[in-house]
Amino acid sequence: MTELASTAVVTGGTRGIGRAVALRLAQSGYQVYFTYVSKPELAEEVVAEIEKAGGTAKAFRLDSADSDAVSTFFADEIKGKVSLDVLVNNAGITRDGLIMRMKDDDFNAVIDINLRGAFYCLREAAKIMAKQRMGRIVNIASVVGLMGNAGQINYVSAKAGLIGMTKSAARELGGRGVTVNAVAPGFIETDMTAALSEEVRKGYIANIPLKRMGTSEEVADAVAWLASDQAGYVTGQTLSVNGGMYM
Ligand code: NAP
């Protein structure tokens, strides 16, 4: 019997943290399957970068919030075809606004992608990993899921939910050799934070003990550690990568 390729699935791998995670896990030796929704040219760029460094990667246009599409992806591309060693639920969006002005659509869209989407992928991965009797799931939460944040009730609800989902899944899947952890990044330099005004950025940085924003690579290193053999006895945890922003 031929051995199936050791594979990591990363949602939202074309930009920011997901891109850095895809590159980092490829460096660790995984074949990387990553998803995106809107920019195929960026997806090609990431595949090319991984291949140039000697790795293997494939990009899939897949909206995490589409439950049927997620099931089809895992059935057609993963089950029985590769060894699903790692799932990183990274895809996420923000639609910030104050509570009293927040529209249903903005609340729901953020929950759909950041929370429901993570669940759809986790559920499919769990079926496969439980059967394999091994696997690593890492959910990308956020510092604000731990501390709350004015103007982000939708996003904070999703990220706090993701931390709860991590703890529950860790309890349910531990007996099958599957670990489930979260990484809670602080204020990281990506497209998501580029939209903030200079004043808001300065305000955040003033409250970070390390006095700078973090990089996507610093978050990716934490994810790679949780996916590695060194983290074999770590599950149900939320690892903060935030420059000391919230302690
Ligand atoms: P980003 O630069 O905006 O990148 C988001 C990635 O997710 C893109 O590749 C995007 O692909 C993909 N994506 C968006 N919606 C998707 C969907 N429905 N299905 C599949 N992929 C989708 O974001 P980031 O700053 O790297 O954030 C990544 C994760 O870290 C998010 O979960 C975010 O909440 C979390 N986080 C970020 C920070 C920060 O300071 N940046 C802090 C804490 C937590 P397309 O371009 O194709 O849409």
Tell me the one-letter amino acid at 19: R
Question: Per the residue annotation, which of 155, 204, 233, 246 is the catalytic one?
Answer: 155
62 neighbors 76 (Cβ within 8 angstroms): no
If you count them, how many residues does the chain have? 247
For 182-202, how does the pLDDT look when each residue is reduced to its tens digit (9 = 90+)? Answer: 999 999 999 999 988 999 899
For ligand 1, say whether the CB of 63 is within 6 Å of any of its atoms. Answer: yes
Q: Which amino acid type is present at position 120?
A: Y
Q: Please give the CATH topology (third level) of the domain spanning 6-188+215-240.
A: Rossmann fold (3.40.50)
**Nearest CA residue ID for atom 41, ligand 1:** 188
In the chain, domain spans: 6-188+215-240
In this predicted model, what pLDDT tens digit does every residue of 115-135 receive, in sequence order? 999 999 999 999 999 999 999
The Cα–Cα gap between 247 and 74 comes to 37
Using alpha carbons, select from 232, 108, 236 the residue that is nearest to residue 163. 236
Asked if residue 104 has pLDDT above 70, the reply is yes
In this predicted structure, the answer to whether residue 1 has a pLDDT above a threshold of 80 is no
Give me the mean pLDDT over the 213-239 stretch: 98
Among 204, 114, 184, smallest CA distance to 144 is for 184
Angle formed by the axes of helices 153-173 and 104-111, to 10°? 30
* Percent of the residues in the chain that have a pLDDT greater than 90, as a whole number: 96
